[in-house]
Structure 1
Amino acid sequence: MRKKMYAAMLGLATVGAVTLSSGGASSHGYTDQPLSRQKACGNGGIVKGCGSIQYEPQSVEGLKGFPGRGPADGKICSAGNGGFSALDQPKQPNGTAWPATQLSGGQSYNFRWQFTAAHATADFKYYITKNGWNQNAPLTRAALESTPFLTVPYNGQRPPWTLSHSGQVPSGKTGNHVVLAVWTVADTPNAFYACSDVKF
């Protein structure tokens, strides 16, 4: 009888673990067009010394509701995850500029996400820094334009493994900027954040 009860309890524990692992924690993704900081750091990427983000560039997850809620100013690029704090720094760990994708103001561009696990999705939003923003400090809300330049509703659907959004790059930008992409999950309290350095 004891053996049967133990087996039943073990079975329930296993089912519970599977159920938990299929929730929000299994939902991950990052942008690679334009190249995000986490992708640049990830999987033996072109930026070294980033810490634990190199093993899980898809895991930059924080509270949703940006800009009203979400990660604190100065911790937006890491989504407030202390282990990913290298992403918040204005320069890469070796002290040089982050790799930047070349863009032209007003051009059409395919913003691309890569997913390691799909999740029901509310929307995707893309923000960009203002002209004259402080490039020598971690990203803040005040440094970003107040409204996204591209919003893609997703109505609770699950994205494929690779998803591109065609949109127009804002005009009137010069020099170095950061594009912040926010993937808002529909059925958890969280969103995924990706900062990409770009140059006009």
Structure 2
Amino acid sequence: MSTRRRRLATIAAGAAIAPLITVVLPAGTASAHGYVNSPPSRQAQCAAGTVPCGAIKYEPQSVEGPKGLRSCNGGVGRFAELNDDSKGWRATSVGKTVTFNWTFTARHRTANYEYFLGGRKLATFDGGNQQPPANVSHQVNLGNVSGRQKVLAIWNIGDTANAFYACIDLQVR
């Protein structure tokens, strides 16, 4: 067989196999968006294996829902366990002021970040409708609370109607 024929046979075999490989190989998970990684949010605890969880373990950055919600799962049914306060979430011991650190895997333009405690807004940070760096930190004063508390952190996207949600369990001294 000549070199030219072998080359054509190899190309033809590759073209025939390519569609099969696309169907047989598993698709990867989408790498998108962001969450609070410190103190560890509920989805960060799932990703680390601190608390046994379902699908959120593999995509902690994906708790995305319409703006204006006040739920830990952002209205996403398959992440409903993030709303379960009895699941055994570990509370991080903190003082009256806490630094929340966001990690982003896709950096959307940002309208703002909001922090809530017991339905009361604690703080808002303007995002300037700019794309954030890969990591963003905010220092938030919790006020006169003590004991076990749950903070809801929201990243409101500037170029969509959606936001990203994260609940963080704290033990305030």
Q: Which range, TM-score by smaller chain?
A: 0.7 to 0.9
Aligned to 1:83: 78
Task: Output the CA distance in 1 between the equivalents of 2:167 and 2:49.
Answer: 16
Show CA shifts across 1:87-112 (max 9, x none). 010122xxxx311111222x3x3211
Aligned to 1:134: none
What SS is found at the alignment partner of 2:130?
coil
Task: Output the CA distance in 2 between the equivalents of 1:184 and 1:62.
Answer: 10
Aligned to 2:93: 102
Name which of 116, 121, 127 aligns with 1:127: 116
Aligned to 1:161: 134
Stretches of structure 1 that go unaligned for 5 or more consecutive residues are 1-24, 130-143
| Structure showing the higher strand proportion among its residues | 2
How far off its partner does 1:119 sit? Answer: 0.5
Name which of 147, 165, 170 aligns with 1:175: 147
How far off its partner does 1:172 sit? Answer: 1.6
Structure having the higher Rg: 2
How far off its partner does 1:180 sit? Answer: 0.4
Show CA shifts across 1:19-41 (max 9, x none). xxxxxx87510001221000100
Task: Output the CA distance in 2 between the equivalents of 1:171 and 1:121.
Answer: 26
How far off its partner does 1:171 sit? Answer: 2.6
Q: Aligned in 2, Cα 1:83/1:61: closer, same or farther, shift over 3 Å? A: same
RMSD: 1.6
Contact 1:27 1:119 in 2 (8 A): no
Task: Output the CA distance in 2 between the equivalents of 1:126 and 1:198.
Answer: 13
Show CA shifts across 1:114-154 (max 9, x none). 0111000000011112xxxxxxxxxxxxxx22xx2111001
Task: Output the CA distance in 1 between the equivalents of 2:113 and 2:49.
Answer: 25
Aligned to 1:197: 169
Q: How many residues align?
A: 143
What SS is found at the alignment partner of 1:196?
strand
